[in-house]
């Protein structure tokens, strides 16, 4: 194991009642890196995050988190990790300030008032500090949760779908804050269903059915699939989509609004099929760069998982 990595684990396995949830998972995250966890519900993301922060013990496997052994030193890991759960988990009948003060007491911070004040200012919560948490919008609850998870100055943030149900503006602000923390050396492992968020990560790990399918930068993951992609524009795309199923070179079709994306590994065969299918009509086709959403759907379908 190397202390050059904030997370360095191999062969992680976890089962619940005979269901194998995480299967031989290996993961490395560098200090200051934002690493995205991508996969459908039930793919093992939450279980992996809980094993890394010491809330669950792996059935097998080994590794370190922040240089501490995940099997033997989970208490030391917990002291230096900030964890945001999928669901807002703070006290809705307390104000923002009271929530933060309560968390500061749990961490036994020496100067709670100063720590809370700094957290309020750092995430622009000071103006709402006396507002009840239960009255906050999703975006403001998210800020409160992030402020609480950062109170004890953790070296690693583990974020489990932190922006689910949050509006695009709040998501943008949240990611700006993550990149600010990353620049300060905080490592981040974040699970998300949003492909625009995936592209904001330094590295990605795609999971399905507990297995790691692909890992690397977004460009590396896209290139590794070797997909050729075309976009088709015009009327009657639903019918065309049906006609293309099973045709030579066609491995995947995805409707994006008024555009049909068609992907395949055999570029020449794919182009011939598409030119034949669109000949004599008013449809227009053009080659396009393969996108992250194309790759996500492709990986999930190949694994048998539902995106």
What string of pLDDT tens digits covers the 307 residues of the chain? 446 899 999 999 999 998 999 999 999 999 999 999 998 888 999 999 999 988 999 999 999 999 999 999 999 998 899 998 877 788 999 999 999 999 999 989 989 999 999 989 888 899 999 999 999 888 888 889 889 998 999 999 999 988 877 788 888 888 998 999 999 999 999 998 888 899 999 999 999 999 999 999 999 999 999 999 999 999 999 999 999 999 999 999 999 889 999 999 999 999 999 999 999 888 999 999 999 999 999 999 888 765 5
Predicted pLDDT of residue 143 = 87
Beta carbons of 151 and 106 less than 8 angstroms apart: no
Provide the sign of the torsion angle of the four alpha carbons 281, 282, 288, 294, taken in this order. negative
What is the pLDDT at residue 90?
86
Cβ atoms of residues 154 and 185 within 8 Å: no
Residue keyed to tokens 């093992």? 44
Name, in order, each residue with C-beta under 8 angstroms of 142's C-beta and a sequence gap of 6 or more: 162, 163, 166, 170, 174
Question: Which residue, 87, 114, 83, is CA-closest to 100?
Answer: 114
CATH fold for the domain made of 227-289: Alpha-Beta Plaits (3.30.70)
What is the C-alpha separation between 95 and 147, in angstroms, rounded? 13
pTM: 0.87
End-to-end CA distance of the chain: 33
Query: What is the structure's pLDDT at 305?
Result: 64
**In the chain, where are the structural domains located?**
7-221, 227-289
* pLDDT the model gives residue 2: 46
Question: What was the pLDDT predicted at 1?
Answer: 41
User: For residue 264, which of 283, 245, 282 has the smallest C-alpha distance?
Assistant: 245
Q: Nearest to residue 301, comparing CAs of 252, 259, 247, 264?
A: 252
Q: Are strands 60-65 and 284-288 parallel, antiparallel or unpaired?
A: unpaired
CA-CA distances (angstroms) from residue 155 to 6, 30, 68, 104, 146?
8, 11, 12, 17, 14
What pLDDT sits at residue 3? 65
Options 3.40.50.1010, 3.30.2270.10, 3.30.428.10, 3.40.50.300; which CATH number does 7-221 get? 3.40.50.300
């Amino acid at each position: 194991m190397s202390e050059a990595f904030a997370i360095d684990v191999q062969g992680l396995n976890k089962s619940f009642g005979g269901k194998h949830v995480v299967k031989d998972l290996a993961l490395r995250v560098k200090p200051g890196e934002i690493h995205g966890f991508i996969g459908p519900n039930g793919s093992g993301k939450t279980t992996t995050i809980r094993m890394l922060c010491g809330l669950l013990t792996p059935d097998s496997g080994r590794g370190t988190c922040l240089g501490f052994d995940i099997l033997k030193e989970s208490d030391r890991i917990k002291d230096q990790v900030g964890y945001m759960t999928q669901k807002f988990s703070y006290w809705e009948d307390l104000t923002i300030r009271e929530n933060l003060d309560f968390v500061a007491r749990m961490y036994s911070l020496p100067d709670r008032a100063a720590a809370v004040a700094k957290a309020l200012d750092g995430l622009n919560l000071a103006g709402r500090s006396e507002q009840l948490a239960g009255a906050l919008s999703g975006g403001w609850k998210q800020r409160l949760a992030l402020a609480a998870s950062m109170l004890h100055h953790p070296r690693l943030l583990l974020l489990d779908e932190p922006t689910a149900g949050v509006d695009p503006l709040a998501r943008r602000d949240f990611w700006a804050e993550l990149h600010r923390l990353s620049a300060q050396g905080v490592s981040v492992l974040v699970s998300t269903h949003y492909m625009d968020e995936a592209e904001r990560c330094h590295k990605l790990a795609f999971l399905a059915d507990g297995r790691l399918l692909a890992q690397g930068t977004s460009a590396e993951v896209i290139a590794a699939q070797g997909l050729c992609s075309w976009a088709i524009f015009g009327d009657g795309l639903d019918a065309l989509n049906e006609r293309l199923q099973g045709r030579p070179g066609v491995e995947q079709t995805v409707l994006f609004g008024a555009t049909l994306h068609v992907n395949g590994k055999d570029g020449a065969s794919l182009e011939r099929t598409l030119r034949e299918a669109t000949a004599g009509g008013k449809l227009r086709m053009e080659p396009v760069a393969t996108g992250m959403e194309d790759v996500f759907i492709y990986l999930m379908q190949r694994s048998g998982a539902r995106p």
